Structure 1
Amino acid sequence: MGSIKAVIFDLDGVITDTAEYHFLAWKKLADDLDVPFDREFNEKLKGIGRMESLELILEKSGKTFSVEEKERLASRKNEHYRTLIQRITPDDLLPGIRGFIKEIKKEGIVTGLASASKNAPFVIKRLKIEDLLDTVVDATKVEKGKPDPEIFLTATKQLGVEPAKCVGVEDAKAGVQAIKRAGMFAVGIGDQNTLSEADWIVSAPAELSLHELYQRYQNSN
């Protein structure tokens, strides 16, 4: 399919939506710490890593925490989250995404996952899509979080494809910035204003089509 050789996906908000589980897990931790936490504040945590998210919550507590205490709190949040995601099934794949990935694979284009979640391997196992992804890069494999391009560049390296021939698919501003900084073509899923740096924006995964992606990619080069 032209010169697109790889498509690399984010997980949350692109392949499945575990945002609600993350919200509930952070909310439980914030309640334990007596820190006000609502959905509006939760939006600030979208697309960033666990420790960065924790720092934002702890700032609101007005207290000082040691590195060890922060590690313990991050682990506690993760335990809450892992308990919640035990209920994920293939039915939790976002509409249209399985078909789109299959269409890509049929054309001989390789696929990857680049997720800030350390639980990404567990989630894709629950979704039963391991066979649809050629590589998986999560937060445990990189040092820098999005918007740093490291996670996407690591995926391109593992796939053996140069970034200019790769497409990244994201639903968060930090993710789109990471894709662009990696020198890749960026597809944004969600709000036009938030994701304005993307090369192509759709409102939901069901709107993705390889034919249109190919056209837009060609026009951008």
Structure 2
Amino acid sequence: MTKFADIKGFVFDLDGVITDTSVFHSQAWHQVADKVGVTWDDELADALKGISRMDSLNLILKKDHKENDFSEAEKEALATEKNDNYLKLVNQMTPANILPGIQDFLATVKAKGYLLSLASASKNSPLVLKKLGLSDYFPKAVDPATLTHGKPDPEIFRRGAEILDLQPGECIGVEDAAAGVQSINAAGETSIGIGDPQILSAAAINFTDTTQLTLANIQQRLA
């Protein structure tokens, strides 16, 4: 097991960890589902968490066997429409949308000399960070356009360590989704899962919510 003393950096997911934009994603996808005549439910909303835009759209269409009803161009248009809906919601965000305890944690980590990078599949993450007033904490972010594989593949978290010039073993990855935790583990980093411990049972460390995310708690769990 990794020793706390070996840790030099933190690689953060965005949605569900720093802020909760999943509610905006859900609203925007719900609008698309209504448009294409797919029944929306909580199970579908949960299935879309943490996966890319086109994968999300394909899941929605598959639910009611509509995956072959649309051309690639029509799918692209639907994905773009979803993103436009989402951006309207994101543009209303403020620092009040930062999840509890996260700003304190980022400030502490930065003050103590740890490096930070962002590993979000969302192309909108720079805008979200700007709205939250957190851009300065994340000068390094993985560009999702450069990735060939989505979570649970380790690529995004491996890249999150690389851009900090750190080895995976020197990094802690922070996630709220099972696919994200799998990605961190496969990258060879120490995983923190925030949320339901049963869903995130593969995480090396589990906190039920962001208020528990402190250096002292992490040190204690890795002792």
* Partner in structure 1 of residue 95 of structure 2: 90
Deviations 1:176-203 (A, max 9, x none): 0000000000000000110000011011
Could you tell me whether the CA contact under 8 Å between 1:134 and 1:159 is conserved in 2?
Answer: no
Question: Hey, which bits of structure 1, 4+ residues long, moved more than 6 A?
Answer: none
What's the CA shift for 1:19? Answer: 1.0
What's the CA shift for 1:134? Answer: 3.4
Unaligned residue ranges in structure 1 (runs of 5+): none
Distance 1:49 1:132, change over 3 A: same
Under a length normalisation based on structure 1, what TM-score does the superposition of the two structures give?
0.95
1:192 equivalent to 2:170? Answer no
Unaligned residue ranges in structure 2 (runs of 5+): none
Could you tell me whether the CA contact under 8 Å between 1:110 and 1:134 is conserved in 2?
Answer: no
Deviations 1:124-182 (A, max 9, x none): 01111011123112422312110011111111111000000100000000000000000
Counterpart of 1:163, as a letter, is P
CA RMSD of aligned residues (A): 1.2
Under a length normalisation based on structure 2, what TM-score does the superposition of the two structures give?
0.94
In the alignment, the residues of structure 1 paired with residue 177 and residue 113 of structure 2 have an alpha-carbon distance, to the nearest angstrom, of: 27
* Partner in structure 2 of residue 124 of structure 1: 129
* Partner in structure 1 of residue 29 of structure 2: 26
* Partner in structure 1 of residue 45 of structure 2: 42
Counterpart of 2:118, as a letter, is L
In the alignment, the residues of structure 1 paired with residue 188 and residue 5 of structure 2 have an alpha-carbon distance, to the nearest angstrom, of: 18
Counterpart of 1:197, as a letter, is A
The equivalent position to 2:112 in structure 1, one of 107, 121, 124, is 107
The equivalent position to 2:150 in structure 1, one of 145, 150, 153, is 145
